[in-house]
Amino acid sequence: MKTLQYERGAEAGAAGGLAFVRIVLDDLVDGLAEVRRDGAPVLEDPLVRDQLVRLAMEEKAIALGDKRAAIAPLTTDYPFSLPLSHKLRWTEYTRRMRQFAINAQGADGARYVGDEEALAGGFWQRAYLNSFSATIGGGTSQVQANIIAEHVLGLPK
């Protein structure tokens, strides 16, 4: 199990790259402040605001999980359960958040790096495409979920 923990990033940490740049919801809101749809700021759209609230709740839950991981008595049964679940939750969250950033741009979400009209020079598009490497590196999200189910929760294969 020790090798598996290392391979899955619970001990080794993560490699670098734009996929691992910590982009938080405030960065997204700042970026979307420039976006307009049908002449109105996209941040005034109730559906966009609803999704932002959902992302904010998820980001806060992840942050609280990080704080919980710092309390040793809560991690005695299986010490790497929190890092394993954090990797899964954080990488999937960042992928969804970055995908939302592109969707909220509407048709301009199809613009990419090098396009003068791309929001933030195509940063969000590139960040989204790179986010898939985070869900693969250290074990795909599906493999990570299986490891948590079998080794942390004790569920059968």
CATH code: domain 2-152 is 1.20.140.10
Q: The tokens 């985070």 sit on which residue?
A: 134
Residue with tokens 């490699």: 15
Per-residue pLDDT 10s for the chain (157 aa) are 555 554 544 444 444 455 556 788 999 999 999 999 889 999 999 999 999 999 999 999 999 988 887 787 766 677 677 778 888 899 899 999 999 999 999 989 999 888 888 888 889 999 999 988 888 887 888 888 888 888 888 899 8
Give yes or no for a contact between 128 and 99, defined as CB atoms under 8 angstroms apart: yes
pLDDT of 80 reads 75
Please name which of 27, 36, 16 lies closest in space to residue 55, comparing C-alpha atoms.
Answer: 27
pLDDT (0 to 100) of residue 21 = 63
Rg (CA), the chain: 18
| pLDDT at residue 15, as a whole number | 45
Residues 36 and 19: their CA atoms lie apart, in Å, by: 27
Given a contact cutoff of 8 angstroms between Cβ atoms, the answer to whether 78 and 151 are in contact is yes
CB 90 within 8 A of CB 63: no
CA–CA dist 140, 97 (Å, integer): 18
| pLDDT score for 46 | 96
Predicted pLDDT at 11: 47
Return the SS3 of 153: coil
Phi, psi dihedral angles at 9 (to 5 degrees)? 90, 0
- N residues, the chain: 157
